[in-house]
Amino acid sequence: MRKSAILTTLTVALIVFALAGCNLLPDGHPPAPPTPTPASISQVVATPAAPTGGSGVSAATATNVPAPLSGTGRQSDVVRVVQTVGPAVVTVVNQLGSNDPSGAGGEALGTGVIIDTAGHIITNNHVVEGQQSITVIYADGKKVNNVQVVGSDTLSDLAVLKVDGNVPATATLGDSNAIMPGETVVAIGSALGDFRNTVTVGVISGVHRNLVGTDTSMEDMIQTDAAINHGNSGGPLINLDGQVIGINTAILRSADFSTDVAEGLGFAIPSNTVKNISAQLISKGKVSRPYLGVTTLAVTPSIAAYYNLQDAQGNQLDSGAFVRQVRAGTPADRAGVQVGDVISGINDFKIDTDHGLGTVLTSFNPGDTVTLHLLRNGSTLDVTATLAEH
């Protein structure tokens, strides 16, 4: 996303934070330095032979000139994806008002994708945050003003907009649980806010990535090396079946206090999360989450070593949620959860590096009674908690 009035990107508390010594930035990064001018054609093809006749065209030149692309040979999987989903991708223009978190006002730009014929559009919360009014620009350049914000959710960084009238196209949300590392994906978005429907291609680099910051975190993210730039926020990440399997949200640019620069580390919200959140926003304008009432830290080998966390057999733990705080009067407090406990699972769901506590909790609803599997001072115990609504 880009804020043209002050020539900076929209800073978003949810997305911009230190990632264990790393900087996570919304939408992408500044343009790369100019690419050196490539070698001329004469440097990479055979030296032309003497003309063979009156045509003045050498044999070597005639041999090395590629035939024009035409017909079905040009219709690659990527082209078909772009032709199918591209018309459903929109530019979102946010006219910032007094609610702008930065206080600077001006204009911010991002991307969205139309998901149904009723005119609902998925984008990021940080694209529409602080809005005074929203304008949507279709892929063909048509503008729609006074777009309704149906609802937004800070924790997931998702928002749903709505336009009236006929829409040019809709995109289908696929099953993000079925994606595989190495699978080819396509990202479409308004790069830098100006280059509408920019297409980039990459692969799924990883799944179930957790981006943990000081005050917040995003769990179960899709990692991709498809280029994600400022303005791509809220745009679709698409598989070769033409299904949206993620909403592009952030990149990892570099490590603090380091000269290392990371490239190709983009992150998208999985489509199954998008389905769940958008359905709630559309139906009731908000998201109801099950609430346990604990502050936790994901257990890693270093965390386990620091706190001397062990299982019943005396082995060092490598997963779970280490409880740092239990809020008074909450379900966890009433269930007897204590600071220093490790929540290893809920019902049949294990808490591990791929499935954090927040992700596991989304499998339940407020009011559900669940069994918490705990490790306390090397011993296992189960407690029962009835989840509240967050």
DSSP state of 314: S
C-alpha of 252 from chain center: 11
Catalytic (active site) residue 205: no
Closest listed residue to residue 140, CA positions, set 189, 193, 87: 87
What lies within 8 Å, CB to CB, of 353 at 6+ separation is: 208, 210, 298, 300, 318, 319
Q: Where are the alpha helices (DSSP H) in the chain?
A: 59-64, 77-85, 125-128, 271-284, 301-307, 331-335, 357-361
Q: Distance between alpha carbon 17 and the CA centroid of its chain, in Å? A: 15
The β-bridge partners of 223 are: 206, 267
Whether residue 248 contacts residue 234, with contact meaning beta carbons closer than 8 Å, is answered with yes
365 HSE (CA, 13 A, CB side): 3
**Rounded CA Rg of the chain:** 25
Annotation marks residue 120 as catalytic = no
Q: Annotated catalytic residue: which of 176, 205, 217, 233? A: 233
Q: Is 280 helix (H, G, I), strand (E, B) or coil?
A: helix
Residues 6+ apart with CB under 8 A from 80: 242
The DSSP-derived string for 344-379 is: EEETTEEP-SSS-HHHHHTTS-TT-EEEEEEEETTE
Cα–Cα distance list, 186 to 65, 198, 215, 242 (Å): 30, 10, 31, 9
- The Cα–Cα gap between 58 and 303 comes to 70
Q: What are the φ/ψ torsions at residue 142 (nearest 5 degrees)? A: -70, 135
Residue of 100, 153, 157, 341 with catalytic role: 157
Q: Which of 29, 126, 230, 373 is catalytic?
A: 126
Whether 341 is a known active-site residue: answer: no
Catalytic site residues?
126, 157, 233
